[in-house]
Amino acid sequence: MQEFIHALQHALPAGAVLTEPADRVAYETDWRRIHNHAALCVVLPRTTQEVAEAVKICARHGVKIVPQGGNTGLVAGGVPVAGVAQIVLSLNRMARILALDDVGGTVTVQAGATLQAVQEAAAAAGKLFPVSYAAEGTARIGGIISTNAGGIQVLSYGSTRAQVLGLEVVLPDGRVWDGLRALRKDNTGFDLKQVFIGGEGTLGVITAAVLRLQPAVTARASALVGVASVAAALAVFSALRARAGAALTICEYMDGAAFALGAKHLPGARIPFAAAAYLLVEVSGRGDDPGPLLEAVLGQALEDGSAADAVIAQSESDRQDFIKLRETIPEGELVEGGAVKHDIEVPIGRLPEMVAAARALVAEQFADCRLNIFGHVGDGNLHINVRPPAGQKLADLNDRKAAITAAVEAAAMALEGSFSAEHGIGQMRLDGMAAHKSGVELDLMRRLKAAFDPDNLLNPGKLLP
């Protein structure tokens, strides 16, 4: 492969091609530290033209390409697979905010811009970019779009797909599709951007995007609510949604064990009251203070018994503390040995059935393991994670991981749900695709892949079983 490496080095600026193992390792290992496979090199372009040139060279030499953003994914979709001649194409140096249209309410960014940088650019212009989750300081826009990321505000604003107006994409043959259009309406044939959103880098390399912005939120009211069960949590959610409508922007559920795990790994954290489970709720406003509405709904919930306790944030610091307690849970899992993670969704009203099914199957089949349940109860998406026995690590479950995942996914599918609501497929949910997607669906996906990438150049071993 020396000829191939030399071709890349000749075509790209100095320092854009990393070949030393010590320089590559961070790009070759997924965030959960489960997968680590070698790449021939890591390519760090700064422009779309450099991406296109690297792709053309790979195509000529038959070398596969793994597009990578911030490498914060949970299904190893942005790191190499075993036994393949491949490079990692990192977009992290393509991080510029290109334009912001205040009147049109859009921002145009390179794919390597972090989610936090986009949020801050929007805030500086008096706007809101509503995609929000724990990895926003390192997650990159290209990866967020490629995985159709969700987060804690999907309830009100939708997933990333709803925020994307236009894309620029380098195709597997090195051509550039310029779809950077800031249009709300464009009814001129197939909406090509949609096939790249959620495509996990298997159809093209996203290099830039036009994103929709929202008016800035001027007032928020947040609370931590104690509940006895997920059924009680849904009762509180329903009451809040009935009164607040789309102004209910956050409704996150955490069972007691998950909440304690987050608090344990958040320096200075304090759990304000004991409860079987917790809801983090937030009502946002662009004018009137939503505080009285939240107080009224929670007061009624306490009176009718759907809520056991509640504390309302008295400051922005309190609000951030609540959110950090929720967002530290995955980090706590990782530090304490990891978990067999699941990202299921069922119709919202069937969440109590799903939680009961998960508790039953773990008790009956994996009784020494520990359940950790948290997630986005307002849109039906829960992370039902199975932790190893106390004192053990995820590797100690290697011989049972497949069975655990098959059981949890089957329970979700039996309730007319999905086995991957927001994390995607990557290389860790391929068995679920084979088990739960129909032959027609898989055939159509494979035909789409063949049409865009006939040589299977992009992101090998991901998405399609």
Give per-residue pLDDT as tens, 73-108. 999 999 999 999 999 999 999 999 999 999 999 999
3-state class (DSSP) for residue 343:
strand
Q: What pLDDT was estimated at residue 287? A: 84
3-class secondary-structure state, position 448: helix
What is the C-alpha to C-alpha distance for residues 379 and 390, in angstroms, rounded to an integer?
Answer: 31
Rounded CA-CA distance 260/152 in Å is: 19
Whether 16 shows a pLDDT value over 90: the answer reads: yes
Kindly report, residue by residue over 331-345, the tens digit of the pLDDT: 999 999 999 999 999
Answer yes or no: is pLDDT of 112 > 90: yes
pLDDT in tens, 404-448: 999 999 999 999 999 999 999 999 999 999 999 999 999 999 999
Average pLDDT of span 221-239: 98
Structure tokens at 279: 């809801």
Q: What is the pLDDT of residues 343-360, one digit of tens each?
A: 999 999 999 999 999 999
Amino acid (one-letter) located at 441: E
pLDDT value at 5 more than 90? yes
- At residue 261, the 3 state secondary structure works out as helix
What's residue 12's pLDDT?
98
395, pLDDT greater than 90: yes
- Counting beta carbons within 10 angstroms of the beta carbon of residue 287, is it exposed (0 to 12), middle (13 to 18) or buried (19 or more)? exposed
Q: What is the mean pLDDT of residues 144-159?
A: 95
**445 three-class SS:** helix
Q: What is the pLDDT of residue 134?
A: 85
Q: What is the mean pLDDT of residues 308-321?
A: 95
- In this prediction, residue 288 carries a pLDDT of 87
Go through the chain and tell me how many residues it has.
Answer: 465
How far is the CA of 323 from the CAs of 45, 303, 319, 320, 456, in angstroms? 35, 26, 6, 5, 41
**Mean pLDDT across the chain, nearest whole number?**
96
Q: Which residues contact 438 (CB under 8 A, 6 or more apart)?
A: none
Average pLDDT over residues 212-232: 97
pLDDT of residue 1: 86
What pLDDT does residue 355 have?
Answer: 98
- What single DSSP character describes residue 388? P
Q: Which residue has the tokens 């009935």?
A: 242
What number is the average pLDDT over the span 170-182? 97
Radius of gyration of the chain (CA): 22
Taking residue 434's Cβ as centre, other Cβ atoms within 10 Å add up to: 11
What whole-number percentage of the chain has pLDDT above 90?
Answer: 97
167 vs 164: CA distance, rounded Å: 8
User: In which residue are the tokens 């496979």 written?
Assistant: 37
Domains of the chain: 2-90 (3.30.43.10), 97-215 (3.30.465.10), 219-330 (3.30.70.2190), 337-420 (3.30.70.2740)
Q: What percent of the chain has pLDDT over 70?
A: 100
Strand runs labelled E in 243-396: 248-255, 277-285, 309-312, 343-345, 370-376, 381-387
What local confidence, expressed as pLDDT, does residue 54 receive? 98
User: At which residue do the structure tokens 């949604």 appear?
Assistant: 241
